[in-house]
Amino acid sequence: NRYCVIMGGGVGSRFWPFSRNSRPKQFLDFFGIGRSLLQMSYDRFVKIIPKDHIFIVTNEIYVDVIKEQLPELPEANILLEPARRNTAPCIAWAAYHIRAINPNANIVVAPSDHLILKEEEFARCINLGLEFVAKYPALLTLGIKPNRPETGYGYIQIGEDAEGDIKTVKTFTEKPNLEFAKMFVESGEFFWNSGIFIWNVQTIIKAFQRFLPDISNRFEEHNEVFNTPAEQAFINDNFAACPNISIDFGIMEKASNVFVLCADFGWSDLGSWSALYDHSPKNKDGNVAQGCKTLLYNTANNVIAVKGDKLVVVEGLKDYIVAEADNVLLICPKSEEQKIKQFVTDAKMAY
Ligand code: GDD
Ligand code: MG
């Protein structure tokens, strides 16, 4: 009774213009190795969990990309959302769907856009976590030791030892401001939420009933449709009415049965151009070039990602992102990359 849910419906806007609404970052072959981040996530899980038990939840507009990238995945294991409602409704649907198949399922819920370097250690942690949630009604998250006050993550304050490397959680704070993030990191008591969760299907459904009944009541009332031919029509009629909220704000911050497995498997969120920069091979001046030929003079520590086999010639540029894809060219200091989300919104308004 081991299952996996890969969430692949986000937009990855901080990677614009490479990441576009039509093909967000989880579908991109970031390192030029012939596998997208989604495919790499799938490859990691298929070693631990039977293929038929792996589900991808995504927006309906990505159905063709998913089928193209994961032809071996049974079609019934692709759950298609008619609207974007963030991760809580996505996780709820997957839980109700899987409960209809196996009411005692233990489920790993994972993002589709992370980098994990130590795969064996990752597999060991997932196995440990699955064993733990089979025994206890716990909402388990995998925690990562923080090395900077990143504001884009959830922060977990650890409590007492529970079992092995698993600890109780005192507080869970999703995306704190910089001041709090700094305090959390300095205190040494906090871990980052990796966004990988493990729980028994009954435990997570109970949490939805308690904290997000607007979602669970709707699903509970039509419990009989899940895993039947009537399911998609029900979702198409009801999904958009679910509140738009992440699992972190909706449940993890509020629940008291949260546990954390403190893990170290070479995790990176790959949330931004700088993260890609950090994980890519560089030339002697610290430049990363992707998808293009370059002639660089007095130019250091940039990430230059230009599609379409162009020659990029640069003089005197330091610590910048130069990214061109389709009809957009972005030039932005790496230090200002958090503004890219805003640029995307503004570009939509203006053009
Ligand atoms: N199916 C579906 N539908 N998937 C979605 C949706 C949606 O509406 N929205 C986001 N996702 C997917 C994304 O593609 C990604 O794989 C995953 O869910 C997490 O969403 P993000 O939008 O990337 O979340 P985040 O990075 O801001 O924050 C989460 O991850 C951090 C670590 O990377 C939180 O869990 C944080 O607490 C955590 O630290
Ligand atoms: Mg993310």
- Domain containing residue 227: CATH number: 3.90.550.10
**Are residues 187 and 91 part of one domain?**
yes
Ligand 1 centroid distance, CA of 295 (Å): 37
**Are residues 254 and 307 part of one domain?**
no
**Are residues 211 and 253 part of one domain?**
yes
**Are residues 342 and 223 part of one domain?**
no
Q: State phi, psi for 100 to the nearest 5 degrees.
A: -70, -25
Ligand 1 centroid distance, CA of 131 (Å): 25
**Are residues 202 and 309 part of one domain?**
no
User: Is residue 276, in this structure, part of any structural domain at all?
Assistant: no
**Are residues 319 and 262 part of one domain?**
no
Question: What tokens does 207 get?
Answer: 């949490």
Nearest atom in ligand 1 to the alpha carbon of residue 10 is 14
**Are residues 151 and 30 part of one domain?**
yes
**Ligand 1 within 6 A of CB of 129:** no
DSSP 251: I
Residue nearest to atom 4 of ligand 1 (CA): 9
User: Which parts of the chain have pLDDT scores under 50?
Assistant: none
Question: What tokens does 195 get?
Answer: 């966004």
pLDDT of residue 247: 98
Residue nearest to atom 35 of ligand 1 (CA): 195
The residue count of the chain comes to: 351
pLDDT of residue 12: 82
User: Is residue 273, in this structure, part of any structural domain at all?
Assistant: no
**Are residues 24 and 127 part of one domain?**
yes
**271 alpha carbon, closest ligand:** 2
pLDDT of residue 105: 98
**Are residues 193 and 55 part of one domain?**
yes
User: What is the dihedral angle through the alpha carbons of 17, 22, 23, 26, rounded to the nearest 10 degrees?
Assistant: 100
User: Is residue 62, in this structure, part of any structural domain at all?
Assistant: yes
Domain of 323 in residue numbering reads as: 281-350
**Are residues 192 and 312 part of one domain?**
no
**Are residues 175 and 95 part of one domain?**
yes
Name the domain boundary from 268, 292, 326.
268
pLDDT of residue 62: 95
Name the domain boundary from 234, 268, 302.
268
pLDDT of residue 20: 86
Q: State phi, psi for 167 to the nearest 5 degrees.
A: -125, 160
Ligand 1 centroid distance, CA of 71 (Å): 24
Total domains in the chain come to: 2
Q: In this structure, are residues 75 and 52 in contact, taking their beta carbons and an 8 Å threshold?
A: no
Name the domain boundary from 233, 268, 303.
268
Nearest atom in ligand 1 to the alpha carbon of residue 26 is 14
**Ligand 1 within 6 A of CB of 29:** no
